[in-house]
Structure 1
Amino acid sequence: MSSGSLRRITKELTELNENPPSGVTACPISDSDLYKWNVTLTAPKGSLYYGGVFHLNLTLPSEYPFKPPTLNFTTKIYHPNVSNDDKGSMCLGILRAENWKPSCKILAVLEMARGLLLEPNVDDAVETNIADQYKNDRAGFEKTVKQWIKNHAKEK
């Protein structure tokens, strides 16, 4: 764990706390480990996922900001850009090693993740069957999304 990495994470956490983005809450799981965060995304109005509250894990590498974080859904979600397994891995271009830049910030990652709730990127799908349904059977896709929200993403 580098002190530069911890300084950067602390600075970004302060910025997030001072100016929290709409529909997003994020904080480290514990004060003793700033590299693992809990994230909650509330789906925006106008989104097929509206009414859903989704929990994610954000893991920052010790080489942050020189290497990208990982972001995984812990709430099951029916989405072409999120793996439909226990990992809930998210396909988000900014998180690819070849696209990541040290100037990228946690806030941008979280805003892009929330943006995928507004508009899935079916051309960069991790779940191709879900992407195909989105393109070819929108009514069926929307019905399944609503059922999954009801079953998995309703605030208790």
Structure 2
Amino acid sequence: MAQQAGIPKRIEKETLKLSQEPPPGINAQPDSGNYRYFKVLMEGPEGTPYQDGLYHLELFLPEGYPMEPPKVRFLTKIYHPNIDKLGRICLDVLKDKWSPALQIRTVLLSIQALLSSPEPDDPLDTSVADHFKQNKRDAENVAREWNRTYACKS
């Protein structure tokens, strides 16, 4: 990928690494018209209610990146206590635990890990979190149903 005018070296390096060594189960491509905007496809982790799902996310690098975290949200509907109905994600590395040492790759792997281990005690969607706390099996069944309905590759 040739250096495009105005692309910060850091973003260029991360973008190149994402295309050459994609994290397992994750594909992140920059938009052709905006190098700060990425279209992300994430496979639901095996052994979770999200298994076999293919989730669309968008990731945006703000002007302040890497001093401020990327903005990431799910575009595919998902039933998860740490992801709200608008697709916003409650994850420490996207907020107070962000560090410029982290990269797009780290953030995406952290989101994938969050799918494997929901944190109902630090919820973004309290009704989903309550469901997970009161009846985890039933909540996981709903998550599987949403996965089949909204995220499954047909």
Give the alignment's TM-score, normalised by structure 2: 0.91
Amino acid in the other structure paired with 1:151: T
**1:49 corresponding residue in structure 2:** 50
SS at match of 1:147: helix
Report percent identity of matched pairs.
36
Match of 1:19 among 18, 21, 26: 21
Alignment of 1:98-117 (within 5 A): 98-117=96-115
Q: CA deviation at 1:113?
A: 0.4
Tell me, which stretches of 5 or more residues in structure 2 are unaligned?
none
Q: Is it true that 1:95 corresponds to 2:94 in the alignment?
A: yes
Matches for 1:17-96 after TM superposition, within 5 Å: 17-30=19-32, 32-84=33-85, 87-96=86-95
Unaligned runs of 5+ in 1: none
Q: Is the 8 A contact 1:6 1:34 kept in 2?
A: no
| Inter-partner Cα distance in structure 2 for 1:101 and 1:150 | 35
**Cα drift, residue 44 of structure 1:** 1.6
Native 8 Å contact 1:70 1:95 kept in 2: yes
Give the total of aligned pairs. Answer: 150
Structure 1 residue ranges, 4+ long, deviating more than 6 angstroms after superposition: none
Which residue is 2:125 aligned to?
Answer: 127
CA separation in 1, counterparts of 2:116 and 2:88? 18
Q: Please report the TM-score for the alignment, with normalisation by the length of structure 1.
A: 0.90
Normalized per residue, the structure richer in helix is 1
RMSD: 1.5
Matched-pair contact (CA < 8 Å) for 1:43–1:114: yes
Structure 1 residue aligned with 2:11? 9
Equivalent AA in structure 2 for residue 44 of structure 1: P
| Residues 120-151 of structure 1: CA deviation (Å, up to 9, x unaligned) | 12222101111111121012102211111121
Task: Map Cα deviations across residues 39-95 of structure 1 (whole Å, 9 max, x no partner).
Answer: 0110121112101110000011011101111110000000001012xx311111001
Whole-Å separation in 2 of the counterparts to 1:47 and 1:58: 23
C-alpha distance in 1 between matches for 2:117 and 2:145 = 18
Q: What amino acid is aligned across from residue 107 of structure 1 in structure 2?
A: R
Distance 2:106 2:88 in 1: 18
